[in-house]
Structure 1
Amino acid sequence: MTIGFSKKSQKTPAQEIALAEQRKKDYEKRLEKG
């Protein structure tokens, strides 16, 4: 699963980074369970 957002500046919003990190952790956790 991926998500896209419109970038209006060079800096990625901290909220987007936090959301991506949370989704990655959730994905890895589900991957471990099988």
Structure 2
Amino acid sequence: MLLQPSGGVVHLITVSAFYEKNKIMYRYTNIINSWL
């Protein structure tokens, strides 16, 4: 029972980190495409 909240928090952090990484990659892709 105690693992449920912490698991949810870890999942939330993982999702937010994944979203941030995708946002950065998307930005870099736009910059590279504008150069090409």
Does the pair score TM above 0.5? yes
Short-chain TM bin: 0.5 to 0.7
Larger Rg: 2
Aligned-pair identity in percent equals 4
> Hey, which of these two has a bigger chunk of helix by percent?
2
- Extract unaligned runs of 5+ from structure 1: 1-8
- Extract unaligned runs of 5+ from structure 2: none
Question: Across the two proteins, how many residue pairs are aligned to each other?
Answer: 25
- The corresponding residue for 1:15 is 13
Runs of 4+ in 1 over 6 A off after TM superposition: none
* Cα root mean square deviation, aligned: 1.9
